[in-house]
Each structure stands twice: as structure tokens, then as C-alpha cells.
Amino acid sequence: MSAAQGRPLLQIRGLHKHFRDVEVLKGVDLEVHEREVVSIIGSSGSGKTTLLRCVNLLEEFDGGEIVLDGESIGYRLRRGRRHRLPDRLLSRQRAMTGMVFQNFNLFPHLTALGNVMLGLTKVRRMQRDEARALAENWLARVGLAQRTGYYPSQLSGGQQQRVAIARALAMNPKLVLLDEVTSALDPELVQEVLATVKSLADEGATLLIVTHEMGFARQVSHRVVFMDKGLIAEQGPPAQVFERPASARLAEFLGSARH
Amino acid sequence: MDRFLTQLWLARDAIVGGVLITMEAALAAIAVGTVLGLAIGLLLVYGHPVVRGACRAYVDIIRGTPVLVLILAAFYITPALGLQMDAFQAGLLALSLFCGAHLGEIVRGAVRTVPHGQSEAGRSIGLTFPQLLAYVILPQALRQALPPWVNTGVELVKASTLLSVIGVGELLLKTQEIVGRNFMTLQFYAVAGALYLLVNLGIETLGRSLEARVRS
């Protein structure tokens, strides 16, 4: 994969986060450039999902800064103290990123089309016709043109996850966060979702991916980041990270991931 | 039988009037109680801890008090507080508070059944909190709440009989007055019973058709 990326889109500096007395992020620094695909790997408890959730402002964080497209997100300083931004601003900033969840989290009371349209009509404030056309277009792109009127309960896991991808992408986010998007799927459904993510990467979307699928991370990423105990332990191009791990921790992790 | 039909004919205005007052009281209490219950239920889940505590106290106190006591309290306490209310208004106040507390608890439970991932998904596409409630949480929660909501309506119609105690001329009081004139105790209480059954069957039918509609 070429590393022909643009300017830095996401800048995470010194990110700290703890749950009660457990420190899960201990000062994470990470940059993601425009059109770059970055995968985060690491054992469970390493803080990778928490990092992703901080970027989408689903978690509060205790220190450090996240800058998205030049805008500091989640907090502002006033008289030397950090304040969480008001809900309305958080919502606007959240809309700058798209999130795809491990458990899909589709809205069960809405059809596939309704799921994709909701953000378009309520957040982007598009006219219904325009929103419908765009939503249908995105569902077609994830291979679900024939399923627009189906409810989530009528779709397979792989189809649900593809609807979730369409829902996130239709909002035209600057950055897409994918949180273990195949972990809840039956093995035979994993490939269709990975192929969909691969096509996004090929089209130049900026992706930050948390995954356990090492083969996929290697195939799709420009850069792979290994997190260990709340810190980035090692990062680099996939070939380097997977074939010449510098640290013993990463070598050990890769060994166990290979079973 | 002839005598019963004659008496029934003579009492027709009183009976119809009683049914109307009963339905008016029940419907008004359901309307006020629904708005109140929705607000209380949401505050119980999302409110500031102090507000949540106040709502919890309201719900627990009202639910722990017999409806008859609530009605008597509304009737005797409001004038002492300087509020001018007739018996019907005082009764309506009591029934609305009763209904609001029950529905508040029902709404709270229903909102709690919506998985947390739904809120996160809604937020991740940029919905504000009010939008999240309106388009994601409540459509799912209210489906859960519909059967107990219908049930509360039926309970209110039955509880409205207690308004007779403070002199509201609803169906039960009217029936008592009629029986007081013609001494046909059995027959006219049977008529009243049949009318209550009819009203409640109507509410349940309405509820079932609503449920069928939201399921499809």
C-alpha cells in the first residue's frame, strides 16, 4: 500500500483516561493523516477500544488533547480549567466522525433505509427525497440495494454490520472509527464485512480500525499501531510490525494471536 | 321486569350523566398523568441526582398511598392551602397524581430496557440529546410501555368510583342515588357493573389495536 497521505487529520496528544483507580490510557500520542488507514492491535485491556471511544466522545478523558481537523474536541479551557463542551457542540463534533460498533447497534424500529436516513434528515437536515436517494446509494454500495426496506431483525449479522457501515459513511464523516466490527459475527460472515471495509479504504476514506483480524490489518492498513497497557508500544508499516517486531511484547502478542 | 324497565327509563339521564363524568374524569386523568408520567420517567433516568431523588420520593409516596386517601387529601387539603377547587377538580388532581406516579415508573422501566448501545449509536451520528430521545429511545421504550399504559387506564376507570366519596356525581354515586329512590339494589348495581365493564373493554380494545399498529 502506498503511503500517499495528506495533512494530519487527527492528532491525539498525551491522552489520559482512568476508570476509577485503573489507568487505561497513560498518555497516548497518535496522528492519523487524511486518507490514511491505521489499525490498532493489542490484547484486550490494552486500551485500544477506549482510545477509539474517546475520539468519538463516547468516553470522557482526563488529560491530553484530541484535535480533529484543527478543532480541539470534547473540552475547552476556561480560566485555566478544562470544561466538557455542551451537548449541542459535542453532537456537532461527533458528527465529524463516524463510528461502527462491534454489536452493530442498528435502530431496531427503523428499516435499513430508515437507519441510514435518520442522521441525514435530523443532523444534516437534508430534505427527505435527497436523504433517501443518498441512503439508497450507500446501501447499494455496501451491497444491500435489495434490502433497503428490511428491519434489522430480518437481516443477517453481516448485513446488519454493512447497514451500520452505510449509516456511518452516509454522514460523510472526516474520519471513520471501526471498533472490532467483525468480532460479533459468525465466521462465514466476516469476509463480506471486511471486503466492505477494504473497499472504503480503496476509495480513500480515512479509517481508524481496532481489530483482532491480523491478516486484515496487514492487508488494509498503511500503518499498524500496537497498544500495550495503555500506551502505544510500537508502530509502523504492516510489513515491519508483523515481520520484524522490535519489542518482545509485540512478538509475544503476535505469537499468541497466531494461536 | 316491567317495573325495572320503567325505573331504568326514568333513571336514564342520571346513568348517562354518571357514565360521562366517569369517562371525563378517567380520560382527563390519563391525559394529565401521561404528560406527568413521561416527564417523571425521563427525569428518573436522566435527571440531576437531586431532581431524580425528588421524583423518586413523589413516585414512592403516591404509589404507597391508597387512592382513596389521595382523593380525600386532595379534597380536604387543597382548600386549607387556599386553593379553590370543586370536588371534581380535587378528584381529578388526585387521580392525575396517581396516574403520573404509576406511568412514571412504567416509563422509567421501559427506557431502561433500551440497550445502551442505542444511545451510543444515536450519539455517534451526531443526534443531540432531545433528538436521541425523540427518534431512538422513546419510539422503542413506548412500545414496551403500551400494554402497562392501557392497564393503567383501566385502573383509573375503576379508581374513579372512589370519587363518589367526595360527592362527584360519577356512575357509582348516581347508581347509589337511583337505588336510594327505587330500592332495586341488585338490578341497578348490575347495570353499573355492566357499564364499567363496557368502558374497560372499550379501552382494552383500543389498546390492542394500538399495539397491533406499532408492531407492524
| pLDDT of the residue at A77 | 84
Rounded to an integer, the average pLDDT of A130-134 is 97
Say if residue A217's pLDDT is above 90: yes
Say if residue A259's pLDDT is above 70: no
Residue pLDDT, tens place only, B54-91 = 999 999 999 999 999 999 999 999 888 888 889 999 99
Confidence of residue A1 (pLDDT cuts 50, 70, 90): very low
Q: Are A116 and A144 in contact (CB under 8 A)?
A: no
Pairwise CB contact (< 8 Å): A58 & B125 = no
Distance CA B23, CA A127 (A): 43
- Apex B85 CA angle, B80 and B86, nearest 5: 120
Q: How far is the alpha carbon of B113 from chain A, nearest alpha carbon, in Å?
A: 13
Closest-CA residue of chain B to A172: B125
Rounded to an integer, the average pLDDT of B3-7 is 89
A171 → closest Cβ in B125, B136, B140: B125
Residue pLDDT, tens place only, B132-152 = 999 999 999 999 999 999 999
Say if residue B194's pLDDT is above 50: yes
Rounded to an integer, the average pLDDT of B168-178 is 89
Residues 159-178 of A with CB under 8 A from B: 164, 167-168, 171
Percent of chain B with pLDDT over 90: 71
Residue pLDDT, tens place only, B119-136 = 999 999 999 999 999 999
β-bridge pairing A223-228 and A231-236: antiparallel
Query: Number of structural domains, chain B?
Result: 1
CATH number for B151: 1.10.3720.10
Contacts with B120 from chain A: Cβ below 8 Å: 58, 99, 101, 105
Contacts with B142 from chain A: Cβ below 8 Å: none
Q: Give burial (CB, 10 Å; 0-12/13-18/19+) of B8.
A: middle
Phi, psi at residue A43, to the nearest 5°?
-70, 165
First-residue to last-residue Cα distance in chain B? 48
The answer to whether A128 contacts chain B (CB < 8 Å) is: no
Confidence of residue A176 (pLDDT cuts 50, 70, 90): very high
Q: Give burial (CB, 10 Å; 0-12/13-18/19+) of A199.
A: middle
Say if residue B216's pLDDT is above 70: no
Among 3.40.50.10860, 3.40.50.300, 3.40.50.720, 3.40.1790.10, what is the CATH number of A1-96+175-259? 3.40.50.300
Say if residue A8's pLDDT is above 60: yes
Q: Where are the domains of chain A?
A: 1-96+175-259, 100-172
Pairwise CB contact (< 8 Å): B125 & A168 = yes
Distance CA A105, CA A164 (A): 8
Say if residue A21's pLDDT is above 90: no
Please, which residues bridge with residue A71 across strands? A68
| pLDDT of the residue at A127 | 96
Residue pLDDT, tens place only, A26-80 = 999 999 999 999 999 999 889 999 999 999 999 999 999 999 999 999 998 888 8
The answer to whether B142 contacts chain A (CB < 8 Å) is: no
Confidence of residue A258 (pLDDT cuts 50, 70, 90): low
